[in-house]
Amino acid sequence: MPDPSPWWGPHVHADRRPFLLARARIAAALRGYFDVRDFVEVETAILQVSPGNEAHLHAFATDLIDPGGDRRPLYLHTSPEFACKKLLAAGEERLFTFARVFRNRERGALHHPEFTMLEWYRAHEPYQALMTDCSALLPASAQAAGVKTFTFRERIADPLAEPERLTLAEAFDRFAGIELLATVSASDTDRDALAAATRAAGIQVTADDTWSDVFSKVLVERVEPKLGLGRPTILMEYPTAEAALARPKPDDPRVAERFELYVCGVEVANGFGELTDPAEQRRRFEAEMAEKARVHGEHYPIDEDFLAALAQMPP
């Protein structure tokens, strides 16, 4: 089989150029959305002392060598989150960024080791305001791209339709017949109860699966393929155990103020009300890094500067 033509070949680029132009129009439309709402566009540093502290996110590592030859480890960020939150602590109240981010061990139809992430923040506003943003950004993107429907692997969604709002508990019950909240409390999870319910639903569970592993299997196998069909879906109120950076919901601490936006069975956005308790955030980071060490044999440092800023971050 001959080698494929390089991406920079003129005939290859000619086929791809419409996507390049559409991308530019989408970026302009998104900037316009934030500009008229008094957001400030920022550009944060890519090199960080910590790339993020989620168990299953993997970073690219490098060394900073100072003029004297001393080295210290740094990482390419997996998201601009820590730096953006420091800007909130400094006094910014509305900001957005088109960040180039890097994630190792990721390659496939929906994942790439390097990609652009749109991230934005609103201080002193409920996290439902971010859901409203998502509901507006989808049609703005579609109109900029000149399309009336989104499609992926024969699934179709109308970007102009108002998104369905569905809790994780409702989704697990509807698509898998599992009572999710019966397996969680405000401070713990019941692995055996979720495993038993998952097996009863016909999903394989192995002896070394954690509660989080079982949760992910149900989500990936039964729930996600049914989301965002016909119209977008906002999947919300994740169990607190699955929301490392989100604050608990005030009237039900078993779940957190976290949501994801789905279109055609694909997650396209992840948002939450920010956790601003540095002690609780440290506890969650340490738990995530312990799990990372157990599963992957590595861990990342905690950004102490971020935890210090968190104490000053607005709600």
The domain defined by 127-272 carries CATH number 3.30.930.10: yes
By the 10 Å C-beta count (0-12 exposed, 13-18 middle, 19+ buried), 16 is classed as exposed
pLDDT of residue 1: 61
pLDDT of residue 187: 87
pLDDT of residue 4: 81
Q: What is the pLDDT along the chain (315 residues), one digit of tens a residue?
A: 667 889 899 999 999 999 999 999 999 999 999 999 999 999 999 999 999 999 889 999 999 999 999 999 999 999 999 999 999 999 999 999 999 999 999 898 899 999 999 999 999 999 999 999 999 999 999 999 999 999 999 999 999 999 999 999 999 999 999 999 999 998 899 999 999 999 999 999 999 999 999 999 999 999 999 999 999 999 999 999 999 889 999 999 999 999 999 999 999 999 999 999 999 999 999 999 999 999 999 999 999 999 999 999 998
Distances (CA, A) of 303 to 49, 282, 288: 6, 10, 14
CB contact at 8 A, 56 and 289? no
- Residue 18's SS3 state is helix
The CB-side HSE value for 57 (13 A sphere, CA atoms) comes to 18
**pTM of the entire structure?**
0.92
Give the start-to-end residue ranges of the domains of the chain. 1-33, 127-272
CB contact at 8 A, 82 and 303? yes
CB contact at 8 A, 102 and 78? yes
pLDDT of residue 3: 73
Q: Which residues pair with 246 in a beta bridge?
A: 274
Distances (CA, A) of 31 to 98, 169, 199, 216: 9, 35, 46, 34
pLDDT of residue 158: 97
* CA 169 remoteness from chain centre: 19
- As a whole number of angstroms, the distance between CA 215 and CA 191 comes to 9
- As a whole number of angstroms, the distance between CA 163 and CA 183 comes to 28
- For strand 155-157 and strand 150-152, is the pairing parallel, antiparallel, or unpaired? antiparallel
- As a whole number of angstroms, the distance between CA 300 and CA 59 comes to 9
